[in-house]
Amino acid sequence: MKKCLSMFLIIAGMLFFTTGCEDEGSSGNVRFQNNSTTKTACPIWDGGRAATLAPGQTSEYRVANPGTHTLQWKDPNGKNLTSMAWPNLVDGKSYTFPYNY
């Protein structure tokens, strides 16, 4: 029993040090801007609709983790307006992603 408990504590400690020591607050800020003069556009961020933006509208900033994400612009009915992009965010930076078509 003591051997199992010791092994459990070693594994728990290893998991803590490999996953629990990241800097809290590791994040960036993203927002989306529709520069079209005629089309309503929806940024699809990591597979989910982040906003529905009328022509000329800019969303509020939202927190996003550093690393690679996916971004695609679609119309409100789900039709692709752009191809997929893979922006790579840096910790502590703010980004504005425009739709320019």
Please check whether residue 85 lies inside any domain of the structure.
Answer: yes
H or E element: which one contains 64? strand 62-64
Q: Of the given ranges (5-9, 43-47, 95-99), which has the lowest mean pLDDT?
A: 5-9
Residue at 37: amino acid letter: T
Please check whether residue 10 lies inside any domain of the structure.
Answer: no
| CATH label of the domain that carries residue 92 | 2.60.40.1120
64: Cβ–Cβ under 8 A, 6 or more apart, which residues?
27, 28, 29, 30, 45, 89
pTM exceeds 0.85? no
Under DSSP, the state recorded for 45 is E
Query: Which residues pair with residue 34 across a beta bridge?
Result: 99
Condensed to tens digits (0 to 9), the pLDDT of residues 31-90 reads 999 999 999 999 999 999 999 999 999 999 999 999 999 999 999 999 999 999 999 999
Please check whether residue 4 lies inside any domain of the structure.
Answer: no
Please check whether residue 70 lies inside any domain of the structure.
Answer: yes
**What total number of domains does the chain contain?**
1
Domain that holds residue 66: 27-99
At 101, the pLDDT band (50, 70, 90 cuts) reads: confident
